[in-house]
């Protein structure tokens, strides 16, 4: 059954409190689009396009070109090409999850807190711990792995009982360094090591060789890559950024049919996108692992849980 909606969109820019260093250079401003759909009864629906082109999504310019091509009215459902996964997310989430009123994000969601790289981590966990965070992610692969392992030992000693720690290398380790890291980790010391190497073949070899749980992230940036990773035999943890993964309905079907072990991760979207992801994840009953979506402090907003 098709329906007609008035359609509009607008561009936003959210500067980071401090520029983020990525493997692709310095990132100073988060840019995206907010789409609005209005039905015949005047009800509003909102969606967010928050692309990360170097992570496998379309560019902002491509998203703008597509939205411009639609004009000021659309026939639902809107067909969005697979080459525009962030745009697919926005349209697939707006009607089922982006309806008004835009309620506050639930305080009952379990969040993971991103800690800074290097020795700053040894003090940076304390304030979020007091705020109630119990799961932390620490970026590695920034310095020599031997030096990071020394810091890791100190961090592990400092963290209170009950804290969970994740390590994320962003595919920045060589296979040898990844083996060094995994060989040095005490049994049960971390929840998982995220994407230590870039190659799926090497990830599969590491998973066979070591007992520490491993997660893929960059390798599953959209639904097509997720399917490929699964077909090639990956049965570890999947860190998924729904806002750039494509159609939420298709993503949910794939996850449920194969009973994947999933961690939700932020694309540094606003709470328009966050709210849609959380409404969708509650429907999918994907609350097993803490979501890596507590990013509001990166924009100089109130420290704590994400909010609009």
- Please give the CATH topology (third level) of the domain spanning 3-97: Enolase-like; domain 1 (3.30.390)
Work out the number of other CB atoms within 10 angstroms of the CB of residue 2.
Answer: 6
Mean pLDDT of 30-43: 96
Domain ranges of the chain: 3-97, 112-299
Mean pLDDT of 174-180: 97
Partnered with residue 218 across adjacent β-strands are none
112-299 under CATH 3.40.50.1820, yes or no: no
User: How confident is the model over 242-293, as pLDDT tens digits?
Assistant: 999 999 999 999 999 999 999 999 999 998 999 999 899 988 887 679 998 8
- Residue 165 and residue 186: Cα distance in Å, rounded? 13
Mean pLDDT of 28-56: 95
- Residue 157 and residue 51: Cα distance in Å, rounded? 38
Query: Is pLDDT larger for residue 160 or for residue 111?
Result: 160
Strands 3-22 and 25-38, by their bridges, are antiparallel
Three-state DSSP class for 118? helix
State the catalytic residues: 139, 241
């Amino acid at each position: 059954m098709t329906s007609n909606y008035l359609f509009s969109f607008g561009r936003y820019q959210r500067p980071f409190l401090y520029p983020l260093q990525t493997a692709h250079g310095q990132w100073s401003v988060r840019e995206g689009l907010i789409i609005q759909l209005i039905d015949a009864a005047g009800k509003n629906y909102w969606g967010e396009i928050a692309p990360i082109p170097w992570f496998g999504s379309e560019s902002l310019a491509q998203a703008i070109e597509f939205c411009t091509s639609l004009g000021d009215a659309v026939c639902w459902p809107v067909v969005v090409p697979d080459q525009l996964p962030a745009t697919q997310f926005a349209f697939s989430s707006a009607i089922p999850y982006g309806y008004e009123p835009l309620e506050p994000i639930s305080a009952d969601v379990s969040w993971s807190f991103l800690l800074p790289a290097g020795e700053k981590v040894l003090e940076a966990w304390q304030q979020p711990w007091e705020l109630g965070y119990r799961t932390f992610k620490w970026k590695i692969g920034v310095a020599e792995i031997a030096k990071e392992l020394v810091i890791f030992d100190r961090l592990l000693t400092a963290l209170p009982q009950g804290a969970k720690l994740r390590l994320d290398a962003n595919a920045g380790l060589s296979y040898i360094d990844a083996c060094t890291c995994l060989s040095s980790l005490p049994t049960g010391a971390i929840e998982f090591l995220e994407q230590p190497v870039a190659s799926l073949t090497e990830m599969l070899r590491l998973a066979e060789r070591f007992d520490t749980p491993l997660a893929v992230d960059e390798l599953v940036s959209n639904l097509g890559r997720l399917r490929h990773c699964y077909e090639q035999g990956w049965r570890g943890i999947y860190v998924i950024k729904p806002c750039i993964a494509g159609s939420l309905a298709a993503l949910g079907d794939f996850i449920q049919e194969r009973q994947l072990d999933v961690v939700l991760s932020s694309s540094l979207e606003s709470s328009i996108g966050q709210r849609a992801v959380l409404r969708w994840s509650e429907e999918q009953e994907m609350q097993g692992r803490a979501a890596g979506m507590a990013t509001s402090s990166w924009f100089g907003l109130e420290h704590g849980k994400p909010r609009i």
